[in-house]
Structure 1
Amino acid sequence: MPSPTTDLVRTYLKEIGRYPLLTPDQEITNARLVQQMMAIEEQRLSLALQLNRQPTDLELATSLGQNVAELQSVIQQGQKAKQKMVTANLRLVVSVAKKYQNHNLEFLDLIQEGTLGLQKGVEKFDPNKGYKLSTYTYWWIRQEITRAIAEKSRTIRLPTYLTEILNKIKKVQRESFEKLGRHATVTEIAEELN
């Protein structure tokens, strides 16, 4: 009998499979809407710092040379576009998360962390640079998953920078063993890491 977690994963995979992938043109159109929304959010933060409080929609719209209805329309379109881009790329999150199974985090937790990375990547994606969304967001997904593993998978939590150093050391050890046919000395590892 399958475990409840297996059933949840199966159900989740079935659900995300229902969302169609975006065409390159849809990707660009949606990304531009998200960029417009993010520009408004940046202006909101800037204005909040100036005012020492959250600006009203009227203050924000005025600072952008828009009326409140236009502002709300751009934000709403940006949110819908972001949602489309995220749901269309959830399969990528699962694909990346599969590579990090067996790192003391549940598969669904890896997917959840990867989805946070996908959302960040969608917010920062610039279609004018010529990259596909999946190529760009892959890094963000991987970054969030590895950060979560570093922070949550150990009984004693090490700072992320130490975990990154340990991972680099392991990588150098593995590459040195493949290259030299033996384990590298501490000096050789130190030289490789600078």
Structure 2
Amino acid sequence: MTAAPAWQADPYTDALRTGRGPLYLRRTDGWLLPLEVERWCAEPDTADGTVLTRSHGAVLDIGCGPGRLVAALAARGRTVLGIDVSQEAVARTIRIGGSALRRSVFDPLPREGSWDTALLIDGNIGIGGDPRALLSRVAQLVAPGGLLLAETAPLDVDERVRVRVFDGVAAQGTPFPWARVGTEALLRYGRGAGWSLRDEWGVGARRFVSLGRGGA
């Protein structure tokens, strides 16, 4: 995957190892998107809990990062797999009790077409910079009647950008495409990829949707 070298850049690896930022995605014009490393490396919070309770069956966490959701589901006895292009993310997920593979969502994956729930949390709808292509790919991974639980941007935004990982001092790794989409844009792309809205909710500043494969 073209983004893999960026997510293996030292600032990202170091942040996951220490559990601390600051860390950002930096656009070519200098705009910064903060990455919430401390939250990702902590126990699931209240907002995460709403995702965990809505997950059912076998769960695939796409872009699992340091693995808090994977480990929490595993602790509940659930069948769950995390995938991430970062070796440190995969290693940390395994250390805290989850199962994970170093893969892109666009690589061949186990159980294709039979996952009951897929997760795109913590901005991972941005993976690849093309939400329509990503949602179409996830539709191939999920079983008929399965769910996609996705976190959307808190604003009504629909943008494609090229970014680099930035630690506040220097941007490292190769530039890669990323996307940010709010709920309305995500629903529009989802309908085009065969998804239908099942639920939408928010906790604090975070926003989520549940999409079903096929009609409601």
* Greater RCO structure (CA 8 Å; 6+ sep): 2
Higher strand share: 2
Which one has a bigger Cα radius of gyration?
A: 1
Alignment TM class, shorter chain as reference? under 0.3
